[in-house]
Structure formats: structure tokens, C-alpha cells
Amino acid sequence: MFAMADGSQLAYIKEEAWGITPATPAWQVLRLTGESLKVTRETKTSAEITPERDVMDHIQVAGGAAGGINFELSYGAYDALFESLMYNEWESNVLKNGVLQVPLSFEKKLLIAEDTYSYLRYTGMIANSMSLNIAAGDVISGSFDFMGKGGSVAAAAIASSTYVDATTEDVINATSHIAALTFGSFTSPKVLSVSLNVSNNLMNAPVLGSLDSGDIGAGQFNVSGSIELYFDNPDVYSAYLAATASSLTITLGTVTTKKYTISLPKIKFSDAEIYAGSQNSYVMCSVPFQAIYDSVSECTMQITRAVV
């Protein structure tokens, strides 16, 4: 039997120290639509000169771990991953971007024969980036991209491991699950889609004597995206021309205490395009934006959970 996606399981646990999986891990099984986690290796081909013109060696010289996780948003499924992305922990159900590293261990369990599994593990994993796509007529989907220390393979689970089943909340859609949307001071904007891209600009630090990464460093916290809306007045375009700062707040979900509010308290438009894509089509306005630090909220981005 060859391993298939239907027989795989991905789980995670927060680490107490970077790169160290807890000794008796209580793994949280993760919901996902796809993943590409792997141990990375940088190689170098020997430059040795030989009379026979042969390549004498191909050497592993550095390594780490990396890869992505694709998801459809559901309440409570990715709260720890949000912490890793935002470099902070939830405080009274509010999460703001900060400077606290939140590392995770991942375990990929693959069925390779009846009652026979292979366990691929990745340690020191930090969320480097996240994309989130909110589009009318679709589910809300996205992806996380991670960088980490390294990884290993085993034929058995870690002793005393336990596994918490994946959450079962409904997938949040962009049709009936948009509880609220506020776009600056614009009156009743008719928004078609919002795309959001968050990056920590992580850096991998190779060290002498180890194939694993010696450290994962954080660069600038950068949030950008794009808003596409139907053009029914020139207010947004005028704000772009005047370099007027705006804001974006969107609440996702409909069940009381099982909603998220994503807030970008201060954004500036990078461009604005008014276009009609073809005959018999609506005139649209597309505005890419850059989120910047807001001194009142003391953050660039904020996520609130358990929203009523």
C-alpha cells in the first residue's frame, strides 16, 4: 500500500522552548485542505578536479524545515497558528502583533500499511506568513507558510503521546458569515472581495556543526492586501488621490462567541484602479493597501475571538 492523503493526519503542539517538543505531547489534530511541510537541505556539489571529469561528492551543507498549510477558516481551529503568526499570545481574547516568538512542533502521521504508520516531525516551526481570501460566493480560505529548526522520521509515536480530535465547527463562508464589515468612513461600500497577506519576513540562521537551523529571526511585520468593490461613487478613489489613511474591520462568523474580528486600524492605499473588464459588466474599483502602525490601537493588526 502506498501512503495516500486520506490516510494522513497532521497535528501540532506549542513548544515550551524553541525546537523542543514536549516530552509527553498532547497533539492537537489540525484541519487542513493540503500541506507541504518538509525537512529542507541545502547541498553543494564538490568542485574537486579529477582526471576522469567525475563529480566526486554532493554534500549536505545546511538545513531546517519549511512548508505550507492550506485551510478553510473555521472557528477555533487555528488559534495557536495565529499566535505564531502574530508573535504574541491571546490576552482576554485579543491578539495583537508583537515580539513574542511562539514556536510549534508538527507531526505528520502517514498510513503506509494496515496498522503501520510513519511519523514525520518538524520542530521549531514559526509562521512566516499567512494569506486570507474573503470573496463573495465562496468559503473563506487561506494558507500559512512556516520556517523551522529541522525534522525527523520515526516508526512510532512519541511515548505517552495523546491526540485531541480536530475541531468540528462549520467552515466560515463569505456569503452568510460576514457579521460586519467597516471600511474606513465610507458609507455602505459594496465589497466583492478582500485579500490579506501577512508576513514576518523570517530569517534562517545556519550555524557551524549542525544541519539544523540555529535560529529563526523575525524581520519586519508586514500586512498588505487588496479590496475590490463595486464603483458607485468616487469616495475611495478620492481618498487614494489625497493619500488619506483609512481602516478595515471585518467580523467573520454568525454564532455568538464563535466569531473573529480582524482589524487593520490604519491602512493607506498603494494604488486605485477603476475598470470595466468587459461589455455587460459592472464597473469595479480595486485598491491595494498597506497596513501601518496605529498609535491608538498600538498595533498594525488585531484579531479578536469569542466576539458576540
Whole-model pTM: value is: 0.95
Query: Based on the number of CB atoms within 10 Å of its own CB, is 136 exposed (0-12), middle (13-18) or buried (19 or more)?
Result: middle
For 75, the grid coordinates are: 472557528
* Sequence-ordered alpha helix ranges (H) in the chain: 79-86, 235-241
For 296, the grid coordinates are: 491608538
The CA distance from 250 to 237, in Å, is: 21
Q: Report angle CA 181, 169, 72 to the nearest 5 degrees.
A: 65
Per DSSP, the three-state class of 45 is strand
Predicted confidence (pLDDT) per residue in 263-287, tens digit: 999 999 999 999 998 889 999 999 9
CB 207 within 8 A of CB 217: no
Per-residue pLDDT, 47: 97
Predicted confidence (pLDDT) per residue in 202-231, tens digit: 999 999 999 999 999 999 999 999 999 999
For residue 235, report the phi and psi dihedrals to the nearest 5 degrees. -60, -45
Cα 230 to its chain centre, rounded Å, is 28
Kindly give the confidence (pLDDT) of every residue in the chain, 308 residues in length, as a single tens digit, with 9 standing for 90 and above.
667 667 799 999 999 999 999 999 999 999 999 999 999 999 999 999 999 999 999 999 999 999 999 999 999 999 999 999 999 999 999 999 999 999 999 999 999 998 899 999 999 999 999 999 999 999 999 999 999 999 999 999 999 999 999 999 999 999 999 999 999 999 999 999 999 999 999 999 999 999 999 999 999 999 999 999 999 999 999 999 999 999 999 999 999 999 999 999 999 999 999 999 888 999 999 999 999 999 999 999 999 999 99
Contacts of 103 (CB under 8 A, 6+ apart): 14, 15, 17, 18, 19, 84, 123, 124, 125, 126, 148, 216
For 92, the grid coordinates are: 482576554
Identify the residue whose cell numbers are 460566493.
137
**Amino acid identity for residue 142 in this structure:** G
CB 283 within 8 A of CB 251: no
Query: Based on the number of CB atoms within 10 Å of its own CB, is 59 exposed (0-12), middle (13-18) or buried (19 or more)?
Result: exposed
Per-residue pLDDT, 277: 80
